[in-house]
Structure 1
Amino acid sequence: MVKINNMSKQWFIVYCKSREENRALENLQNQKIESFFPKIKKEKTSRGKKTICEEALFPSYLFIHIDQEDGNFSRIRSTRGINDFVRFGGKVTTVPDKLIEQLKKLCYVLNNLDVDTKSLLKKGDKVEVMQGAFKGATAIFSCDDGLARSMLLLNILNQEKSIAFSNKEIKKI
């Protein structure tokens, strides 16, 4: 029997072997297991040169999205690079979907990437314009306009106008 909805899927935390998060992530993806490894770009100075490198937001930890009843926990524990699931009081720890969404958004913002509006904003959401001529204005998210832009409904002189904004310029209220 194939389940159509993913309502029983939950996010779990796995503890990885030291410096093997990327190996574990790759092996989980090869097994078709949705996983998330939050990283941020950081500027470092090495031998007088500034370089940009990626660092783990939570070193040695990955988030995985599996069905609690159908998920093969022993297969995941035996995946190369993974030590075990994070537990509190002997019980495997789950993470709310909303927290994962917030972490993804945080990674986009910290890495100065375009906000992934498909997963973060829905039609009708209120947003605030953070930069440009309309800075501080409140608008309503209408739709995506390509990968880096979104269409917003902005009330100008008591008329709603549809205007395109860069995803970097807006944030959800």
Structure 2
Amino acid sequence: MFEENTEEKKWFALYTKPRHEFKAEEQINKLSIDCFLPKITATKKWKDRKKKVESALFTSYIFIHATEIERRYALAVDSIVKTVCFNGKPAVIPDEEIESIKIMLEKKSDIFISDKIQKGNKVKIIEGPLKNVIGTVVNLNSEDWLYVTVEILQRSVSVKLTKDNVYKLME
């Protein structure tokens, strides 16, 4: 799809829209750009059942092995928000780090994910009547409940949500 380019390919991290990692992988693959979406399978528990669910190891991130031109094409994909940058330049991920992630996933190590949502974090609500509203975490408890304060009409409203109902906004 792309002209032959002698430019060296590098690993870049791309930031996706919330819960669009799998869609981003599909769209980037259609462009014939080499991408890597680290995935894990976890057991999700609801009140009435348990189910194994595949999810992204790093929420809202996908990696591409690409030239600078391919990276720019990948940015045009609907599910991609931006390239992860450091000091204003696209951050290049060392090959060894990507290989380490692949080895860890192959060995089926016990992997625990933390979004590190903490008291004081700004979050966007992604489900329910307050969908798309931004609030501040005012309390957390050990049962995965968090309490978010939302400013509406110059009033503060607190809602009780699970961590699955919000995503942490980048600072």
Structure 2 length normalisation: TM-score? 0.57
- Report the equivalent of 1:83: 81
Q: Would you say the 8 A contact 1:40–1:111 is kept in 2? A: no
Cα RMSD over matched residues? Answer: 2.2
Displacement after TM superposition at 1:82 (Å): 0.2
Runs of 4+ in 1 over 6 A off after TM superposition: none
Displacement after TM superposition at 1:47 (Å): 2.4
Displacement after TM superposition at 1:111 (Å): 7.3
d(CA) in 2 for partners of 1:18 and 1:72? 23
d(CA) in 2 for partners of 1:73 and 1:95? 13
* Pair 1:103-2:96 in alignment: no
Q: Would you say the 8 A contact 2:33–2:70 is kept in 1? A: no
Provide the secondary structure at the position in 2 that maps to 1:110.
Answer: coil
Q: Which moved more, 1:57-66 or 1:42-51?
A: 42-51
Q: Would you say the 8 A contact 2:36–2:64 is kept in 1? A: yes
- Report the equivalent of 1:42: 42
For structure 2, which runs of at least 5 residues remain unmatched after alignment? 111-171
d(CA) in 1 for partners of 2:5 and 2:37? 26
d(CA) in 1 for partners of 2:75 and 2:52? 33
Q: 1:12 to 1:41 in 2, by over 3 A?
A: same
> 5 Å matches for 1:10-25?
10-25=10-25
- Report the equivalent of 1:117: none
Structure of greater Rg:
1
Q: How many residues align?
A: 108
Structure 1 length normalisation: TM-score? 0.56
